[in-house]
Amino acid sequence: MNTLSIDGWRKADNNSKSVPIGTLQFHVSEAEHLRLEQAEEELQRSGARDTMIDADMQTLELVMPAGFGPLNECKWRVYLSGEEGRGQFHLVGYGAQDGSLFYSNAVMVDLLG
């Protein structure tokens, strides 16, 4: 498994600006890594801009920064960036307490081991 510690952000509503919340820590299992690679390949084939895939909450082991509760509806947003069209992903979810949007900074799919 890959354990990632990545800066996280919160957006209270559509009219709010995103604010940093600290570091999110989560695991990306080998099965999830394969799904992210498959999503990247499908985007390259289809020409679509991005895709959302459900995160496996059983293996995610998400640890939120102090002061923030659990997330619901966690998904991986996979998209292609740059002229080379390399796949990147980030975690997206909604606060269980208030429905705020939470997300992590992006990571290149290729960086997963």
Segment 49-103, tens digit of pLDDT: 999 999 999 999 999 999 999 999 999 999 999 877 889 999 999 999 999 999 9
CA distance 51 to 85: 14
- Torsion sign across C-alpha atoms 92, 94, 96, 97: positive
Would the pTM count as exceeding 0.75? yes
Residues in the chain: 113
At which residue do the structure tokens 């290729």 appear?
110
> Which stretches of the chain are DSSP H helices?
30-46, 57-60
Least confidently predicted of 14-18, 29-33, 45-49, 79-83 = 79-83
Q: What pLDDT score does 89 carry? A: 96
Q: Does the pLDDT value for residue 113 go beyond 70?
A: no
